[in-house]
Amino acid sequence: MRPIIGIAGDALTQPSAKIDLNQADYVPRAIKQAVLKVGGLPVILPFSDDLQLTEEIAEQLADTIDGLILPGGPDVAPIVYHEEPIPQLGAVIYAEDLFETALIKAILQNKKPIFAICRGIQILNVALGGNLYQDLAVQYPDLKIQHKQQSFGNYPIHHVKIDPDSQLAELLGKTAFVNSRHHQAIKMLAPVLKVVAKSADGVIEAVESRQNDLILGVQWHPENLWQDDPTQLRLFADLIRKAEKH
Ligand code: MN
């Protein structure tokens, strides 16, 4: 039996010619393919538009799945970490933030593993008590390299330095060459998390839990790298291994 890997759903923000597809729930195809490739059973977890149902639905889904992937997506709404939006903030979907926050708490309560990607590492940090740079370009004075890459999304663009004493180093080694499609990043780290990779200008690029092996979050997009760089597929295989164990 394949472990069931829930992938938190995003919603289309572009208008659709068909009314039924407006704000359609979806997950990135490359994540679905990666999960299938490493032996998992991918399922899409759509958020509830009715905020009253968010927690109930998240808790039941957390009981049902064996592991959780938090994909990339829209900016996290600053209200979730008690800030007003700066002018450079991108589009946000509050219902998605609340859903993923509830999912993260329920999954960790159930002692099941999480793998977070890009926006995923950001909502993970916020859900666990941290906050974010709403926009690196105007809020991070040490910004020296390109994090919002101009190249195609599957091109690696900058290096990350990995803490040798981490799960991530066991998977990727001491450095990795990764893509970068973010303008937000972790600012104040959640107490339960530890930083395990940074870019050359000090932006947080990966986190794990201080308490157990249940959390891995990366700021890049491994789902668009593994086709050319198979080492990145190990991040998905690691989630499957943990999902089978827990
Ligand atoms: Mn980056």
pLDDT tens across 143-178, in order? 999 999 999 999 999 999 999 999 999 999 999 999
Q: Is the pLDDT of residue 7 over 90?
A: yes
- Distance from the CA of 180 to the center of ligand 1, in angstroms? 4
- Distance from the CA of 219 to the center of ligand 1, in angstroms? 6
Is 82 catalytic? The answer is no
Averaged pLDDT score across all residues of the chain: 96
pLDDT at 86: 98
pLDDT at 12: 87
Backbone angles phi and psi of 70, in degrees to 5? -105, 110
pLDDT tens across 28-75, in order? 999 999 999 999 999 999 999 999 999 999 999 999 999 999 999 999
pLDDT at 201: 98
Average pLDDT over residues 15-38: 89
pLDDT tens across 71-113, in order? 999 999 999 999 999 999 999 999 999 999 999 999 999 999 9
Query: Rounded CA gap, 6 and 33, in Å?
Result: 13
The residue annotated as part of the active site, out of 147, 158, 182, 221, is 221
Q: Is the pLDDT of residue 6 over 90?
A: yes
pLDDT at 13: 79
pLDDT at 14: 80
The residue annotated as part of the active site, out of 96, 100, 118, 182, is 118
pLDDT tens across 189-220, in order? 999 999 999 999 999 999 999 999 999 999 99
- Distance from the CA of 147 to the center of ligand 1, in angstroms? 4
pLDDT at 204: 98
216 bridge partner residues: 115, 208
Q: Is the pLDDT of residue 187 over 90?
A: yes
- The token duo for 86 is 């700066």
Whether residue 133 contacts residue 140, with contact meaning beta carbons closer than 8 Å, is answered with yes
Contacts of 75 (CB under 8 A, 6+ apart): 89, 90, 91, 92, 119, 134, 184
Backbone angles phi and psi of 138, in degrees to 5? -105, -15
Q: Is the pLDDT of residue 233 over 80?
A: yes
pLDDT at 23: 83
Whether residue 124 contacts residue 70, with contact meaning beta carbons closer than 8 Å, is answered with yes
pLDDT at 155: 96
Q: What is the pTM of this model?
A: 0.97
- Distance from the CA of 4 to the center of ligand 1, in angstroms? 29
- Distance from the CA of 90 to the center of ligand 1, in angstroms? 17
- Distance from the CA of 105 to the center of ligand 1, in angstroms? 26
The residue annotated as part of the active site, out of 96, 100, 208, 223, is 223
Q: Is the pLDDT of residue 18 over 90?
A: no
Is 118 catalytic? The answer is yes
pLDDT at 65: 98
Average pLDDT over residues 111-139: 98
